[in-house]
């Protein structure tokens, strides 16, 4: 098995020492340097392409705000129908309208800073406020919806959503 392909490398491996064994070691250094250059080039390519792709997929703040509203009214605090055990969209269960439920609803790095204020239109329940965080809130929206109270009845209410941009 002849691993060394040139005459100088073969001569030094056969036991003849003529001082020219540097050929094999210089190839190892060459390939090590080329490997480092290749890894750096690939890393630069990946970083540049990720930055370019994130600039292409810019999400407007209005869309993020609408997604938060949809999640709050249709997932986080949604009321269940006791007869069919199905969720009733755009209704809020007053029992689940708590700070803990809001924190459990939005988990992860990109949890929005939001304040939710719920008030009754017919004075059937007290004013309720839920905080995810305070300060820096600038985008405000109000939604009319139904609120399921402790007695199981639905009453009209207004949900005020204040969210940071």
Q: Is the pLDDT of residue 1 over 50?
A: no
Where in the sequence is the domain holding 45, given as residue range(s)? 7-56
Sheet holding 78-80, edge to edge: 78-80, 87-93, 139-148, 154-163, 114-120, 128-131
Please write the tens of the pLDDT for every residue from 101-111. 888 887 776 67
- Pair 117, 150 in one domain: yes
- Pair 81, 142 in one domain: yes
Please write the tens of the pLDDT for every residue from 66-84. 888 888 888 888 888 888 8
- Pair 73, 38 in one domain: no
- Pair 66, 100 in one domain: yes
Please write the tens of the pLDDT for every residue from 10-33. 555 555 555 555 556 678 888 999
Predicted structure pTM score? 0.57
């Amino acid at each position: 098995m002849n691993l060394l392909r040139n005459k100088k490398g073969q001569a030094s491996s056969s036991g003849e020492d003529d001082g020219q064994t540097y050929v094999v070691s210089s190839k190892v250094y060459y390939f090590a340097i080329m490997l480092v250059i290749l890894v750096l080039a690939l890393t630069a390519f990946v970083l540049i392409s990720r930055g370019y792709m994130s600039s292409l997929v810019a999400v407007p703040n209005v869309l993020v705000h609408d997604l938060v509203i949809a999640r709050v009214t249709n997932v986080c605090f949604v009321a269940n129908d006791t007869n069919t055990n199905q969720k009733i969209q755009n209704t809020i269960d007053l029992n689940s309208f708590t700070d803990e439920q809001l924190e459990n609803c939005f988990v992860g790095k990109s949890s929005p800073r939001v304040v939710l204020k719920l008030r009754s239109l017919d004075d059937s329940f007290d004013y309720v406020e839920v905080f995810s965080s305070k300060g820096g809130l600038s985008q405000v929206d109000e939604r009319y919806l139904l609120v399921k109270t402790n007695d199981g009845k639905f009453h009209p209410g207004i949900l005020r959503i204040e969210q940071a941009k």
